[in-house]
Amino acid sequence: MSITKDQVIHVSKLARLKFSDDELEKFSHQLDSIIKYVDKLNELNTDGVEPTAHIVPISNVFREDVVVPSMDREKILMNAKEKEDGCFKVPKIIE
Amino acid sequence: MELHELKIHELNDLLKKKEVSAVDVTKAYLKRINEVEPKVDALICKTEDFALKKAEEADKMIKDGNINDLTGIPVIIKDNMCTENIRTTCASKMLEDFVPPYNATVVENLNSLGAVMVGKANLDEFAMGSSTENSAFKTTKNPWDLERVPGGSSGGSAASVAADECAFSLGSDTGGSIRQPASLCGVVGMKPTYGLVSRYGLVAFASSLDQIGPITKDVTDCAIVLNAIAGHDPKDSTSVDKMRKKDYKEFLKEDIKGMKIGYAKEFFRQGLDEGVKRSIEASLKIFEELGAEIREVSLKYIDYALAAYYIVSSAEASSNLARYDGIRYGYAAEKYEDLIDMYMVSRSEGFGKEVKRRIMLGTYALSSGYYDAYYNKALKVRTLIKQDYEKAFQNVDVIVGPTSPTVAFKIGERVEDPLAMYLADVYTVPVNIAGLPGLSMPCGLSDGLPVGLQIVGKHFDEGTILNAAYAFEKALSFTAKPSFKGGAR
Amino acid sequence: MNYEAVIGLEVHAELLTKTKIFCNCTTEFGGEPNTHVCPVCLGLPGTLPVLNKKVVEYAVKAGLALNCEISKFSKMDRKNYFYPDLPKAYQISQYDLPLCKNGYVEIETSDGVKKKIGLTRIHIEEDAGKLMHENVDGSLVDYNRTGVPLIEIVSEPDMRTPEEAYLYLTKLKSVLEYSEVSDCKMQEGSLRVDTNVSVRPVGSKEFGTKIELKNLNSFKAVQKALEYEIKRQIKLLENGETIVQETRRWNEQKGITEAMRSKEEAHDYRYFPDPDLVPIIVSDEWKEEIRKSLPEMPEHKKERFVAQYGIPEYDASVITASKPLADFFEKCVLEYSSAKTVSNWIMGEMMRLLKETGKEVEEVLIKPHQMASLLNLIDNGTITGSIAKTVFEEMFATGKNPEEIVDEKGLKQLSNEDELRKIALKVIEDNPKSVEDYKNGKDKAIGFLVGQIMKATKGKANPQLANKILLEELSK
């Protein structure tokens, strides 16, 4: 498979990334060669092979339902650039 | 011998005998950092005040008779592990000002033992890379040759140990990021079994592959640090609690008679440097002389590991790195049109090229219509590779081979060719894909640069790896030290 | 041409766990913004989720109560999209292996027809934060709700009328309340409804173009919005226009649905298994243990009420339709022995006031012991039955004790013979026509005269006594 510039633009929107035309050109080229490389996976017949999402087969890891005090709001907000009235602030959203 | 040249267990002896104090040790290392850091650029920040405070606390512990293996020992932590109230940048403009309000579990572990963090190490941005050239802040140099890369992504961690800026460091390994730089810098680095060490507080790159591990000056120190960081953490659902906590120092035995050591013929083909090949073959001889039984094993799907790795790791990364939008923390754009544009501008300006490349690849691999062809396919190939190893481990105790196909390469040599860079991880990636433990240790020099030997073991069988590594270390006695040559800045 | 509607519902219900789904922060509603937040639910770099066991248990409980199959093996997935209320830019949810599937809810329409509405699936997921748009120069984000556990209950497109949708929701709410997994308070957002509706010619097997409706703040709103939307779609089709797939918003004031601003791009959620969370395996033993913890369901409770308390089947079904109401009934019966009387009051006054005020049963201020006191006041002759209704209204409005209301307003029954005789004489004097009628053998006239005494005493007169005195005076 190869990736077209249009696809790269579509993917960049999904990923919330923005590229200049020059970058886009270069990126499309590099991505295309990486995708051609990873395409070698499709040489392999994997019919009937189960996908491995977790390499160590563990299950049912749970936490008990016990309240622990939350973090001080000051600390929660300390890394935010825009804040107001104890909230994080973002550009006005029109719903 | 200078204090900074000592290993953890040697410093521990001096501290126990009260011949030196933790503050003395810390000061010696801080001085050493000031001397060599201008050449090596291994650190993103030096934590001098914090270190002196911790050293004083360590001295108090020692005075109270509470000394353990790591009390008062200077450590450098890769800057993708969260340290409370100390900037954690991931070598990214995105997190340049990020101050975590909490500690990673491994950091907590080290703190409670009285280890002294003297600085935070440089890395490839978000641990994506094999040369530490992808750092947004600086390029770390290889202490053996300052014109060469230290490897990556834990290049700062490995270089800082090689340059004696600390007694040991912590790195993280997603596709070789501990072992490959350890190999290129001539130090010992281990990626433990997936699930042995808590990932809580490690800024995620690829969650199903990431694992924290030690980078040390010898195998004994590796066991000591592993003791400190291994173990179940209720904050990490993937950390395994069935493993009874072991004392890894008990595996440090010179006797490996009868140990079955495998080598995969697939690791000795084209692309492998002649000098590296020679060192590895010589290493196999040493194992044989030590009484081990050398067996050939086959890992027939190994050629697909790198492709599967890039799909899985990039897909997970695209999701893990989606949270960086400048709202709650991190780089925020100043000029934008609306909400969506704010996301786009913040992320495009905050992330470096390699990170963006991987986010793009990962987003593509997960996107509608491609999931089965890429992501799910890669997970199936993962199964095949895992089975490959399971089969091989029916006949051998460990598998040895080269850590990296080459010795340290020149700075700038591969930056424009992502694929060539990715090939640096060809021998380390399969180990992450299969979740196995792997260790890299120096096994010789090629053109005056260290060659790394990789020893891979069964799941949770770090003990056997340490046994083999310890015996090999004793037999080889690799004593070369970096020269800091070249590299006028 | 005749058209029929095809309706499917997606219901999100917050689970009643003490803590969030992946961290130990409280799930308590309200609280100052961003005070129920920790590094995990804020999605700080490096943090990891650990699943709350109760969330699985509650979801399985809901699944069992809704006749679902419980998956032996299920897993958590990431649903990726960017929005400021979603701190990790992915929601941890379940994609292809939900915890529960293939259930149903049985409803009974007003014409007595029983119908099973299929449930496709129930899965667990985390809630998002809250955005506030009051500010002029920006929106504010509060992450208190982030990570509160939800179950999403997806129905089959089995409903054909807005009434069926309404009945389905009512029944679903009742079952969730009964199983004690959610408090289902729509006003606090702990129950949220989205609906999909399309129309097609009757007899057609194909589905029409689906419209998603949002901003449905009550079950009545769901019904009204569907009614409007179905008419709108039929009109479009009759005019030969095509229906575009879109999301529309219910405007309660105007009583219409409006197209929402179209999204910039189609969603591609890029679901994949969350590598930070391990699979969930529900063994048969665990499932049975959870089943045993299930409280009594409405049908059983109804049967038991009929058998145990001897109340009519109809009353029992009305009372048990709502768990809080059934609980109220049983608590009253514990303190007051005549179940039938309690049931009559609930069926009569209580239901009337609930309907008039639009209140939910949970909001009713009357305590069961106060209800019992009220009934005792009637029995011991302190107040009359008609006064009791006034007292009940006051109790409903203020939550005060009945004795207090009776005292304050001087509503005690008038049983003083002398006083009553005076009033009776006045009534006889004022109503010569009725007295005449009575004497001419029209017995009914006595009832009118008693009524006049009641009127004069504002309902406080002891009716038996009033009757007796009247008869005495009239026979003089």
pLDDT at C297: 87
What residue ranges do the domains of chain C occupy? 3-288, 298-409, 417-474
Q: What is the DSSP string of C296-316?
A: PPHHHHHHHHHHHH---HHHH
Q: Is C76 exposed, middle or buried (0-12, 13-18, 19+ CB in 10 A)?
A: buried
Q: Is A30 a domain residue?
A: yes
pLDDT of B189 > 70? The answer is: yes
Residue of B162 and C354 predicted with greater confidence = B162
Chain C stretch 105-134, residues whose beta carbon is closer than 8 A to a beta carbon of chain A: 131-133
pLDDT in tens, C23-42: 999 999 989 999 999 999 99
Tell which residue, B29, B477, B427, B13, has the closest CA to residue B218: B477
φ and ψ at residue C10, rounded to 5 degrees:
-120, 120
pLDDT of B488 > 60? The answer is: no
Residue of C133 and B120 predicted with greater confidence = B120
Query: Which amino acid, one-letter code, is at B374?
Result: Y
pLDDT band for position C136 (50/70/90)?
Answer: confident
Give catalytic status of residue B177 as yes or no. yes
Interface contact C140-A89, CB threshold 8 A? yes
Q: Minimum mean pLDDT among C120-124, C316-320, C334-338, C449-453: which range?
A: C449-453
The residue-averaged pLDDT of C245-259 equals: 93
H-helix segments, B367-455: 377-392, 418-422, 429-433
Count of structural domains within chain A: 1
Sign of CA dihedral B61, B64, B68, B74: positive
Q: Minimum mean pLDDT among A22-26, C170-174, C467-471: which range?
A: C467-471
- Distance of alpha carbon C48 from alpha carbon B239, whole angstroms: 11
Interface contact C24-A59, CB threshold 8 A? no
Chain B stretch 446-465, residues whose beta carbon is closer than 8 A to a beta carbon of chain A: 459
- Distance of alpha carbon C16 from alpha carbon C340, whole angstroms: 33
Enter the pTM of the model: 0.90
pLDDT at B94: 98
pLDDT in tens, C434-446: 888 888 888 788 8
pLDDT in tens, C360-398: 888 889 999 999 999 999 998 888 888 899 999 999 999
Q: Is the ipTM of this complex over 0.95?
A: yes
The residue-averaged pLDDT of A32-40 equals: 92
pLDDT at A1: 64
pLDDT in tens, C80-131: 999 999 999 999 999 999 999 999 999 988 888 999 999 999 999 999 999 9
- For C179, residues 6+ apart whose C-beta sits below 8 A from its C-beta are C61, C62, C64, C65, C294, C295, C297
pLDDT in tens, B233-291: 999 999 998 766 789 999 999 999 999 999 999 988 878 999 999 999 999 999 999 99
Average pLDDT over all residues of chain B: 96
The residue-averaged pLDDT of B390-418 equals: 95
Say if residues C375 and C341 touch (Cβ distance below 8 Å).
yes
Give catalytic status of residue B446 as yes or no. no
Put residue C291 in one of left, alpha, beta given phi > 0 → left and psi -120 to 50 → alpha: alpha
- For B79, residues 6+ apart whose C-beta sits below 8 A from its C-beta are B44, B45, B88, B89, B90, B91, B120, B121, B122, B123, B156
pLDDT at B419: 82
Which of C53, C56, C272, C278 to probe by mutation at the B interface, max B CB count within 10 Å?
A: C272
Structure tokens at C466: 């009033």
Closest residue of chain A to C16, computed from CA coordinates: A65
pLDDT at B290: 97
Tell which residue, B292, B274, B11, B341, has the closest CA to residue B168: B11
Give catalytic status of residue B153 as yes or no. yes
Chain A stretch 33-92, residues whose beta carbon is closer than 8 A to a beta carbon of chain B: 33-35, 37-42, 44, 46, 49-56, 58, 61, 63, 71, 75-76, 78-82, 88, 90-91
pLDDT band for position B415 (50/70/90)?
Answer: confident
H-helix segments, C358-461: 368-379, 385-398, 402-409, 417-430, 432-439, 444-456
Domain interval for residue A33: 5-43
> CB atoms < 10 A from the CB of B10, how many?
17
pLDDT in tens, B154-170: 999 999 999 999 999 99
Fold of C417-474: Arc Repressor Mutant, subunit A (1.10.10)
> CB atoms < 10 A from the CB of B474, how many?
14
pLDDT band for position A58 (50/70/90)?
Answer: very high
- For B456, residues 6+ apart whose C-beta sits below 8 A from its C-beta are B389, B398, B399, B400, B401, B431, B436, B437, B438, B439, B465
Q: Minimum mean pLDDT among B31-45, B333-347, C349-363: which range?
A: C349-363
**Whole-number Cα distances in Å, C237 to C3, C233, C234:** 10, 6, 5
Average pLDDT over all residues of chain A: 92
pLDDT at B489: 45
pLDDT band for position C60 (50/70/90)?
Answer: very high
Closest residue of chain A to B346, computed from CA coordinates: A17
The residue-averaged pLDDT of B87-110 equals: 98
Average pLDDT over all residues of chain C: 92
- For B111, residues 6+ apart whose C-beta sits below 8 A from its C-beta are B54, B103, B117
What residue ranges do the domains of chain B occupy? 3-256+471-476, 303-380
Terminal-residue alpha carbon distance, chain C? 78
Q: Is A12 a domain residue?
A: yes
- Which residues in chain A are contacts of C258 at CB distance < 8 A? none
Q: Which CATH code fits B3-256+471-476?
A: 3.90.1300.10
- Distance of alpha carbon B198 from alpha carbon B216, whole angstroms: 19
